[in-house]
Amino acid sequence: MAFERNMDPKKTPMPTQDAEKRSHNFEEVALGYTYEMAVAEARRCLHCKNKPCQSACPVAIDIPGFIGRIAEEDLQGAWEILSASTALPAVCGRVCPQEHQCEGKCVRGIKGEPVGIGRLERFVADWHNAREDQKTEKPKANGHKVAIVGSGPAGLTCAGELAKMGYEVTVYEALHQAGGVLVYGIPEFRLPKAIVAQEIEGLKKLGVKVETNMVIGKVLTIDDLFDMGNEAIFVGSGAGLPRFMNIPGENLKGVYSANEYLTRVNLMKAYQQDSKTPIQRSQKVAVVGGGNVAMDAARCARRMGADEVTIVYRRSMNELPARKEEVEHALEEGIAFKTLSDPIEVLGDENGFVCGLRCIAMELGEPDESGRRRPVPVKDSAFDIPVDAVIVAIGTSPNPLIRKTTPGLETNKRGCIITEDEGGLTSRDGVYAGGDAVTGAATVILSMGAGKEAAKAMDAYIKGKNQ
């Protein structure tokens, strides 16, 4: 080892934009490590033999391997190790819930803070993407054709893996821009769209074709795709259907699903000053839910000019499912948290616009099937929060368009596509699925893991068939 190990119990801090300043702009919050910071942080890694971090990574990145190269100041070497396992490192370094995955298992985390694995991943990816001399060799064609439905993290990963094997890959996207939840959902300040665009450009250089405005199940069906000569199809259509609360007043003007709100702000660029996208400029906003999507919506509302933004969540701060960093950033930006509160009615004015949210207080009872303590309503505890917009971020479920138009494709009662194994084979021969379309709303990295496994299974299937 040519360097001295850094035994600082704390992570090298991430430079961030000032909280007050950033709550009025959409520029990225976390600014990224400098070269010196990255090398210093990389030298905190103990290089454990059993690599607990790697086993906790859904795409099994050789984490000590790439970090070791950073420590030795060999960034090209770090990139090669990283890119061998993940197609979207610049994305994952930013949005993975590292505290529940790699960093959650880091031995340094026992007595101090874990190694900043996500930050280092981002550093290497950004370093690579900033280089102008990067070359992508287009793989040799193997003469087989496959189709990918959906251009979110699952679809893009699957497409990249298959393209590298030499397949002729076409990705079909329903919206007018590729990227799925990475472009319509996750906001600019957390994941700049230029990064997603760059990752997609990288895939195109590998020969992947991306067709937008293609709602599979409507424009073309899965069977049409087979008729067009595709030998296997991957369905990564996500979980795009918003859930609502089913309480009175939910159809008042000013009640948005998080999907609609985030799509208007991000994909339709309502955040830009000269944008033509209509959106309500609200002063007091309640966001219902406690996940990453709720944090994103709340922080967008703040940036769109709301003075008061309140997260309304039925459990306590300890149970928030959002990524820890997002909760911290939200708090820094002045987002209020009204926990142990459950909405029972949206209140409207005489013109049908939202004017308040009526909630009841909750207390935590016995643990439920998720292992978290179940929230129980407190009697006679109703109270009103005056708001002029309510954003509902309580989850999504898979879109029914594909299951409705694909005979023989089995789904469960929640509408999720049923798969046989980790390879993602569905009840239809040659049709594979992965990501939120199978699991219901989950994380970017889990979707990527599914896309990667499915690519292997599809390759094996096509090879087996052609023998």
Partner 1 sequence: MFEIVKKEPLNATVTKMVVKAPLIARKAQPGQFIIFRALPDSERIPLTIADYDREKGTVTIIFQIVGRGTMELNTLNVGDSINDFVGPLGTPSHLDGLKKVAVVGGGVGCAIAYPVAKKLHKMGAQVHAITGFRNKELVILEQDFRDISDVYKIVTDDGSYGEKGLVTDALEQLIKEGNQYDEVFAIGPLIMMKFVCLLTKKYGIKTVVSMNPIMIDGTGMCGGCRLTVGGETKFACVDGPDFDGHLVDFDEAMKRGAMYRQFEAREREEECELMQKEVEG
Query: What is the bridge-based pairing of β-strands 145-149 and 232-235?
Result: parallel
Establish if 209 lies at the interface with partner 1 (CB under 8 A).
no
Q: Does 441 bind partner 1 (CB under 8 A)?
A: no
Which residues does 328 contact at the CB level (< 8 Å), separation at least 6?
none
**Closest approach of Cβ 419 to partner 1, in Å?**
22
Q: Would you count residue 414 as binding partner 1 (CB under 8 A)? A: no
Q: HEC profile for the chain?
A: CCCCCCCCCCCCCCCECCHHHHCCCCCCCECCCCHHHHHHHHCCCCCCCCCHHHHCCCCCCCHHHHHHHHHCCCHHHHHHHHHHHCCCHHHHHHHCCHHHCHHHHCCHHHHCCCCCHHHHHHHHHHHHHHCCCCCCCCCCCCCCEEEEECCCHHHHHHHHHHHHCCCEEEEECCCCCCCCHHHHCCCCCCCCHHHHHHHHHHHHHCCCEEECCCCECCCECHHHHHHCCCCEEEECCCCCEECCCCCCCCCCECEEEHHHHHHHHHHCCCCCCCCCCCCCCCCEEEEECCCHHHHHHHHHHHHCCCCEEEEECCCCHHHCCCCHHHHHHHHHCCCEEECCEEEEEEEECCCCEEEEEEEEEEEEEEECCCCCEEEEECCCCCEEEECCEEEECCCEECCCHHHHHCCCCCECCCCCECCCCCCCECCCCCEEECCHHHHCCCCHHHHHHHHHHHHHHHHHHHHHHCC
Task: By CB under 8 A, name the one of 59, 165, 169, 174 that touches partner 1.
Answer: 174
> Least separation, in Å, of the C-beta of 68 and partner 1?
43
Q: In the complex with partner 1, which residue's Cβ is closer, 341 or 396?
A: 396
Report the distance separating Cα 223 and Cα 405, nearest Å: 9
Residue 229, interface with partner 1 (CB under 8 A)? no
Minimum CB distance to partner 1 smaller for 83 or for 263: 263
Dig out the tokens for 61 from the structure. Answer: 């990145």
Among 88, 102, 146, 268, binds partner 1 (CB under 8 A): 268
Q: Does 220 bind partner 1 (CB under 8 A)?
A: yes
Position 251 contacts partner 1 (CB under 8 A): yes
Find the binder of partner 1 among 12, 151, 257, 341 (CB under 8 A): 257
403 binds partner 1 (CB under 8 A): no
Query: Residue from 23, 98, 101, 263 that binds partner 1 (CB under 8 A)?
Result: 263
Give whichever of 174 and 206 is closer to partner 1, judged by the CB atom: 174
Q: Residue 25 or 277: which CB sits closer to partner 1? A: 277
Contact between 218 and partner 1 by CB under 8 A: the answer reads yes
Residue 22 C-beta: closest distance to partner 1, Å:
25
Considering CB under 8 A, how many residues would be counted as binding partner 1? 38
The answer to whether 351 contacts partner 1 (rule: CB under 8 A) is yes
Among 25, 34, 212, 412, binds partner 1 (CB under 8 A): 212
Rule CB under 8 A: say whether 250 interacts with partner 1: yes
Q: Which of 260, 319, 332, 345 binds partner 1 (CB under 8 A)?
A: 260
User: Is 349 one of the binding residues for partner 1 (CB under 8 A)?
Assistant: no
Please say which residue, 116 or 291, places its beta carbon nearer to partner 1.
Answer: 291
Q: Does 399 bind partner 1 (CB under 8 A)?
A: yes
CB of 152 to partner 1, least distance (A): 12
Give whichever of 268 and 301 is closer to partner 1, judged by the CB atom: 268
- Which CB, 51 or 269, lies closer to partner 1? 269
**Binding-site ranges for partner 1 (CB under 8 A):** 174-176, 184, 212-215, 218-220, 240-242, 244, 246, 250-253, 256-257, 259-260, 263-264, 268-269, 275-278, 280, 351-352, 399-401
